[in-house]
Amino acid sequence: MSNHQPYSFFHSVERSFDKAASFTKWEKGLLEQIKACNSIYSMRFPVKMDDGRIEVIEAYRVQHSQHKSPCKGGIRFSDEVNQDEVMALASLMTYKCAIVNVPFGGGKGGIKINPKKYSVYELEKITRRYTSELVKKNFIGPGIDVPAPDYGTGEREMSWIVDTYASLKPGEIDAAGCVTGKPITQGGVRGRKEATGLGVFFGIREVCNMPDVMAKLGLTTGVVGKTVIVQGLGNVGYHSAKFFREHGSKVIAIAEYEGAIFNSNGLNEEEVFQHRKATGSILNFPGATNIAKSTDALEIECDILIPAALENVINGDNAERVKAKIIGEAANGPLTPEADEIFAKKGVLVVPDMYLNAGGVTVSYFEWLKNLSHVRYGRMEKRFTENLNTHILTQMEELTGKKVSDVERNFILHGPEEVDLVHSGLEESMIAATREIMAIWKENPTIPDMRTAAYVCAINKVGTSYTELGIFP
Ligand code: GLU
């Protein structure tokens, strides 16, 4: 944490919001309404641990905005959870959903525990009790508020949530839509797990494909050959690294809390992941140099830096020493406003969290739609498309007297699977959002940075939505 000033994450979101609000035409009262957290549920409940001890668990769910229903946002398990943090993260969810045109309000939940210190059975009891507390207060449901994974949670926890909810609401036909990020067998959607990392890649690739933006940074267009540093090898960091590597970038350093590793020829995230699993540490990876102090990795020269861990890791203390040309905020809130100002001055492009990491919630939206429609994506059209493509190709081959190769044949005939449709929907959402934000920034060059342009985009959409609801005559 920065030594510069007492840090409030929610206050920092409010600061960014206010900075952007001055570039919009909305009246003060409406801006206040957009900014405020509508409902804050702070709870304490007892859970009996394996050794017979009773522990009082501190937990939260914040609904920032109901301008669209349901509210949407993950649940994190972390020692650092507090009300201020959950409020900030819930606010970011509202803006994030607005930017990528996902019709939800923002929400977020948190349980103040370090999941590594609990047995699986204890975690299950905590998660199920948390869910029943949400049910009691009407803070969860497919049309009310829909949690999802976040830092420290994943498919397993989402399974416990949907099972608890469904058992408390017998006969609710849409119960599976009460939470997203579920395993496929429990109503999950293919493509959700890699969604945030893939969205980060799509967003940065789109920025890198803009010749004018790259020229300003002194970089060539495209992601091929670009050097990338990833902080955090959790779900988001792992998949971001994977997609950059697969598309020709070089991931030269990966940082985790126990240290970081560097290899100028590039690292393979899967091999690093397996090494860490086997040895318990990212350090001593074959062929790579160890960096004892994890945060030093953020200061290595590179084209793209991807902080994919927690908030506030780049701040007034270290921003000056960061040498990356582009910073892609895969985590929520990894930069403080002080860091933002330093980067704006240095001409570093910060691609902001609240849209760049929106891949998770975008695919959550697809999962929720799947749950409400009770049908797998692709089920209705896959065979039809394949039959039609076969027919078209056969006709072309007959008319021309030529045949395409087997590789081409398979590619052309292939009808969409669920994962194809999900990835394509995600790609479209990320490209459209990147272009929209950049267009706002170009239209008004006095906007200081891309984060402010993204906020302007979000505020305009939420403002329009509130106005069209008619509650501000
Ligand atoms: N926790 C993720 C986020 O911060 C995903 C939220 C969701 O899918 O609802 O965006």
Q: Which domains does the chain have, with CATH numbers?
A: 37-186 (3.40.50.10860), 189-381+416-473 (3.40.50.720)
**Ligand 1: distance of its center to the CA of 155 in Å?**
13
Closest CA to 313 of 275, 353, 273: 353
Q: For residues 353-362, give the mean pLDDT.
A: 95
Q: In this predicted structure, what is the pLDDT of residue 455?
A: 97
Q: What is the pLDDT of residues 144-155, one digit of tens each?
A: 999 999 999 999
Of all protein residues, the one whose alpha carbon is nearest to atom 7 of ligand 1 is 361
Mutation probe of ligand 1 site: the residue of 9, 93, 95 with most atoms within 8 A of C-beta: 93
Which ligand 1 atom minimizes the distance to the CA of 104?
9
CA of 365 to the centre of ligand 1 (A): 10
Q: What share of the chain is helix, strand, coil (3-state, %, to 5)?
A: 50, 15, 35
**Segment 226-237, tens digit of pLDDT:** 999 999 999 999
Helix (H) or strand (E) holding 261: strand 259-262
Are 269 and 251 contacting, i.e. CB atoms less than 8 angstroms apart?
Answer: yes
Q: Which atom of ligand 1 is closest in space to residue 146's alpha carbon?
A: 9
Can you tell me which atom of ligand 1 is nearest the CA of 147? Answer: 9
Residues 16-59: tens digit of each pLDDT: 999 999 999 999 999 999 999 999 999 999 999 999 999 999 99
Out of 32-36, 95-99, 240-244, 309-313, least confident range: 309-313
Please tell me the predicted confidence (pLDDT) of residue 471.
60
Phi then psi for 62, rounded to 5 degrees? Answer: -120, 130
Mean pLDDT across 342-362:
96
Hey, which residues does 346 pair with through a beta bridge?
Answer: none
Q: How far is the CA of 371 from the centre of ligand 1 (A)?
A: 17
Ligand 1 pocket test, candidate residues 91, 157, 364, 365, most atoms within 8 A of CB: 364
Would you call 57 helix, strand, or coil by DSSP?
A: strand
| Residue 232 half-sphere exposure toward CB, CA atoms < 13 A | 23
* E strand map for 342-410: 349-351
For residue 364, the ligand 1 atom closest to its alpha carbon is: 8
Which string of DSSP letters, residue by residue, matches 100-154? TT---EEEEEEE---GGGS-HHHHHHHHHHHHHHHHHTT--BTTTEE--B-TT--
pLDDT attached to residue 312: 87
Give the global pTM. Answer: 0.94
Put the strands of the sheet holding 250-256 in their side by side order. Answer: 289-291, 259-262, 250-256, 227-231, 304-307, 326-328, 349-351
Q: Are 249 and 293 in contact (CB under 8 A)?
A: no
Residue 341 CB-density burial (10 A; 0-12 exposed, 13-18 middle, 19+ buried): middle
What residue ranges in 373-452 does DSSP mark as E strands?
none
* Cα torsion angle, 199, 12, 233, 278, sign: negative
Largest Cα span, the chain? 79
Pocket test for ligand 1, best of 78, 150, 429 (most atoms within 8 A of CB): 150
- DSSP letter assigned to residue 218: T
- Of 196, 239, 329, 429, best ligand 1 pocket probe by most atoms within 8 Å of the beta carbon: 196
Element (H, E) at 383: helix 382-400
Where does 234-279 have alpha helices with state H? Answer: 235-246, 269-279
* pLDDT for position 473: 47
What is the pLDDT confidence band of residue 7, given thresholds at 50, 70 and 90? confident
Percent above pLDDT 90 for the chain: 94
CA–CA separation, 444 vs 23, rounded Å?
9
For residue 10, give the amino acid letter: F
Cα end-to-end distance, the chain, whole Å: 44
Given 19, 35, 72, 108, the catalytic residue: 108
CA dist 303 and 295 (Å) reads 17
User: Over the chain, what is the mean pLDDT?
Assistant: 96
Q: Separation of 329 CA from ligand 1 center, angstroms?
A: 14
Residue 351 has pLDDT above 70, yes or no: yes
- In angstroms, the CA 286 to CA 446 distance is 48
Q: Per-residue pLDDT averaged across 364-378, rounded?
A: 98
Distance CA 65, CA 95 (A): 10
Question: Which atom of ligand 1 is least distant from the CA of 358?
Answer: 10
Q: How many Å apart are CA 282 and CA 309, to the nearest integer? A: 15
Pocket of ligand 1 (CB under 6 A): 72-74, 148, 150, 180, 332, 357, 360-361, 364
Distance 107 CA to ligand 1 centre (A): 9
Distance 132 CA to ligand 1 centre (A): 21
H/E element, 232: none
Q: Name the one residue in this structure whose structure tokens are 């994943």.
A: 154
For the CA of 357, the closest atom of ligand 1 is 10
- Buried b or exposed e, range 97-129, using 16+ CB within 10 angstroms: bbbbebebbbbbbbbbbebeebeeebbbbbbbb
For residue 282, the 8-state DSSP code is S
How many whole angstroms from 356 Cα to the centroid of ligand 1? 12
254-301 per-position pLDDT tens digit: 999 999 999 999 999 999 999 999 999 999 999 999 999 999 999 999
CA distance 145 to 69: 8
Q: Are 429 and 437 in contact (CB under 8 A)?
A: no
Q: Which residues pair with 306 in a beta bridge?
A: 230
Letter for the amino acid at 304? I
Q: Residue of the nearest CA to atom 9 in ligand 1?
A: 73
65's CB contacts (< 8 A; 6+ apart) are 34, 38, 71, 94, 105, 106, 462
Q: How far apart are CA 327 and CA 321, in angstroms?
A: 13
- Give 361 Cα–ligand 1 centroid separation in angstroms: 5
Catalytic site includes residue 108: yes
